[in-house]
């Protein structure tokens, strides 16, 4: 009698293990975050400063996009990839909306990040950030953020704050 109860317990445990492994595999596949294509972040500089900061700003724009993609992926919100500016220029010289959507879809994108930094003075910058559904073109997230100072540290803080806003906005949308 005791042998059959041990045998039944083993069979039940094996069945439970198989069921658990099967369902966890499906759950993991279903739980993959969507693919986000980060378009090159643009700069609109209306500050009128006499010093040419084009190369410094170009580096900060690339860094902003790269860090945002890495942080969104690390946070498990998206599987983010950056679309390099040269690739985007080749794929969409006019940068019209239908072309941007096709370019993101060609990279497997389900969402697109569009960002523009507006530098209106030495100390005042704005970051316009949008997430767009790559299939429909519909905006799914939008923030207009202000940050102070045109330094590496100020740009890093702006990216960290944007990440927190995307995290909050994405959670609220679900």
Q: How far is CA 138 from the centre of its chain?
A: 16
Residue 27, pLDDT score: 56
Which CATH number fits the domain 33-173, given the four candidates 3.40.640.10, 3.90.1150.10, 3.40.50.12240, 3.40.50.10070? 3.40.50.10070
Q: Which has the minimum average pLDDT: 25-34, 56-65, 125-134?
A: 25-34
pLDDT tens figures, 78-110: 999 999 999 999 999 999 999 999 999 999 999
Domain ranges (residues) in the chain: 1-31, 33-173
DSSP structure class, residue 94: T
Residues in the chain: 174
pLDDT tens figures, 130-158: 999 999 999 999 999 999 999 999 999 99
Question: What CA–CA distance (Å, rounded) separates 85 from 158?
Answer: 21
Residue 26 has pLDDT above 50, yes or no: no
């Amino acid at each position: 009698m005791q042998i059959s109860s041990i045998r039944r317990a083993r069979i039940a445990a094996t069945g439970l293990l198989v069921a658990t492994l099967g369902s966890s595999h499906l759950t993991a596949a279903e739980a993959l975050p969507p693919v986000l294509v980060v378009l090159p972040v643009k700069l609109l500089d209306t500050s009128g400063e006499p010093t040419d900061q084009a190369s410094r700003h170009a580096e900060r724009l690339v860094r902003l996009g790269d860090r945002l993609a890495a942080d969104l992926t690390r946070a498990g919100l998206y599987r983010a990839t950056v679309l390099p500016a040269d690739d985007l220029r080749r794929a969409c010289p006019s940068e019209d909306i239908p072309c941007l959507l096709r370019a993101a879809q060609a990279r497997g994108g389900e969402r697109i990040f569009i960002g523009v930094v507006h530098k209106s003075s030495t100390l005042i910058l704005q970051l316009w950030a949008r997430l767009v559904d790559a299939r429909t073109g519909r905006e799914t997230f939008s923030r207009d953020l202000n940050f102070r100072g045109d330094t590496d540290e100020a740009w890093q803080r702006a990216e960290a704050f944007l990440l927190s806003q995307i995290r909050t906005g994405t959670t609220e949308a679900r």
